[in-house]
Amino acid sequence: MAKTYLDSTKYIIYAHIEVGGQVSQNDIVGAIFGQTEGLLGPELDIRTLVNNGKLGRLEVVASVKGTRTFGSIKIPSGLNAIETSLIAASLEAVERVGPYAAKVIVDKIEDTRKEKRVKIVEKAKQYYRNLMNTELPDTKELLSELISLAAEDQIIEYGPERLPAVKGFDTYDEVILVEGRADVINLVKADIYNVVGIGGANKVPQSIVELSKKKTIIVFLDGDSGASMILKNLISAGVEIDYIAKAPEGKEVEELTRKEIIKSLRNRIEFHQDEEQKPSEEPVNVSEDEIKQKLQEMAGTNTTKIITKKGAKEVSSRYVLKELEKLDKVEEFYGDVILTPRLLNMLLEKQAKVIGVNRLGAISQVPKHIKIITIS
């Protein structure tokens, strides 16, 4: 006897149909079987797959409104993702039901296993919490896992950028900015809840800029070379910073112990933004026309001129990044190059005041405190 059920449902196809006349549910099922027959070969024939138990029974609910019929179609599938997608696409080949014109549109394909996995994870958390409430952990590892689980439950998404933050962080007068989700979780483990992540070192989220206008802001930085770049980006974006805290040299916020976190925050220093920006804002005695003239002369030469307080040096544009790595500070930079994000970040690190290039690359945000001139 032919099967009419599935041993295992992996996906469900949802579609809807509109028919230009009054028809029944059986008419719609018959049209699907008939008009998809042979389209994808015998291995993917819908009627055969239903009979073999690879597809579930076609569930059609139809209603007549005036002279037209509208219906929903649901097909459980035990096939793989590609085969299921082909079956879904073949439904849209149905053009008639009986003597009437028809149109089928697939709404979505649902992965039933995804929902099952979500439920399994939630159940696992519940069982784990129950276990921890009734059984005393006998190792530090188990205790650490419990703390991590509790910390994860405190994390929310803040603003349109969906930044990682702690529930209720914005009820505090002071807010700590860290780089990413792992940093936020580590501070929660240390019982610190006024924390939000900025989401990396590239484009500063506008939500953070607006937040800084209302709260006292503490920026908690990693103890590595990338910290200065994050700070410069925050300043350039207009974030109003009140204090700076920094992890011990060579360590990241996400790996600090509770004692190290508390000590770093206690040792925070006041941040005077106007003083920080002043060295970068000292005017360079060269006009925009002069800069463009220099760039025009350099165009096509594949050379770059780097000016420091010690003097000027001309290098091949091919090796400009290596050359910049050797320098502490740069005053002016003129090059037959494209200003890439990597090159811009390095020039910001070297505190360049003027940058002249052929054109901008994929730069998401141009710092306000730096003069950048292009010729195209």
Residue 342, in any domain of the structure: yes
**Residue-level pLDDT at 6:** 63
Q: How far is CA 201 from CA 87, 304, 339, in A?
A: 44, 27, 18
Q: The domain that contains 96 carries what CATH number?
A: 3.30.70.260
For 53-102, write each residue's pLDDT tens digit: 899 999 999 999 999 999 999 999 999 989 999 999 999 999 999 999 99
Is the same domain home to 250 and 318? Answer: no
In the predicted structure, residue 226 carries a pLDDT above the cut 80: no
Residue 64, burial from CB neighbour count under 10 angstroms (0-12, 13-18, 19+): middle
Is the same domain home to 160 and 211? Answer: yes
In the predicted structure, residue 150 carries a pLDDT above the cut 70: no
Residue 165, in any domain of the structure: yes
Is the same domain home to 199 and 230? Answer: yes
In the predicted structure, residue 2 carries a pLDDT above the cut 70: no
Residue 29, in any domain of the structure: yes
Give the chain's domain count.
Answer: 3
Between the ranges 13-17, 48-52, 142-146, 289-293, where is the mean pLDDT highest? 13-17
Which of these ranges, 225-229, 287-291, 296-300, has the smallest mean pLDDT? 225-229
Domain end among 240, 271, 302: 271
Mean pLDDT across the chain: 84
Residue 118, in any domain of the structure: no
**Residue-level pLDDT at 342:** 85
In the predicted structure, residue 1 carries a pLDDT above the cut 50: no
More confident residue, 50 or 149: 50
Is the same domain home to 183 and 103? Answer: no
259, 290 contact by CB (below 8 A)? no
Is the same domain home to 256 and 294? Answer: no
For 22-36, write each residue's pLDDT tens digit: 999 999 999 999 999
Residue 135, in any domain of the structure: no
Q: Which helix (H) or strand (E) holds 106?
A: strand 100-111
Domain end among 222, 239, 271: 271
**Residue-level pLDDT at 105:** 94
Mean pLDDT, rounded, for 264-279:
72
Q: The domain that contains 162 carries what CATH number?
A: 3.40.1360.10
Residue 188, in any domain of the structure: yes
Residue 204, in any domain of the structure: yes
**Residue-level pLDDT at 137:** 52
Which of these ranges, 68-72, 96-100, 224-228, 342-346, has the smallest mean pLDDT? 224-228
The CA R_g of the chain, rounded to the nearest whole Å, is 31
For 204-213, write each residue's pLDDT tens digit: 889 999 999 9
**Residue-level pLDDT at 279:** 62
Task: Give the integer Cα–Cα distance in Å for 199 and 157.
Answer: 11
Domain end among 248, 271, 294: 271
Is the same domain home to 308 and 246? Answer: no
**Residue-level pLDDT at 310:** 80
**Residue-level pLDDT at 327:** 85
**Residue-level pLDDT at 3:** 46
In the predicted structure, residue 225 carries a pLDDT above the cut 70: no
Mean pLDDT, rounded, for 348-356:
85
Is the same domain home to 251 and 163? Answer: yes
In the predicted structure, residue 276 carries a pLDDT above the cut 60: no
How does residue 271 score in pLDDT terms, banded at 50, 70 and 90? confident
In the predicted structure, residue 133 carries a pLDDT above the cut 70: no
Mean pLDDT, rounded, for 273-281:
51
Mean pLDDT, rounded, for 192-215:
86
In the predicted structure, residue 4 carries a pLDDT above the cut 50: no
**Residue-level pLDDT at 372:** 86
Is the same domain home to 292 and 350? Answer: yes
How does residue 15 score in pLDDT terms, banded at 50, 70 and 90? very high
Is the same domain home to 165 and 236? Answer: yes
In the predicted structure, residue 275 carries a pLDDT above the cut 50: no
Residue 320, in any domain of the structure: yes
Beta-carbon contacts of 67 under 8 Å, excluding residues fewer than 6 positions away, are 20, 21, 22
Domain limits for position 52: 11-111
The 8-class DSSP code of residue 44 comes to G
Task: Give the integer Cα–Cα distance in Å for 184 and 178.
Answer: 7
Is the same domain home to 267 and 162? Answer: yes
For 236-263, write each residue's pLDDT tens digit: 888 999 999 999 888 899 999 999 999 9
Is the same domain home to 26 and 81? Answer: yes
Q: How far is CA 284 from the centre of its chain?
A: 39
| Percent over 70 (pLDDT), the chain | 86
Task: Give the integer Cα–Cα distance in Å for 224 and 184.
Answer: 18
Is the same domain home to 254 and 192? Answer: yes
Task: Give the integer Cα–Cα distance in Å for 161 and 208.
Answer: 10
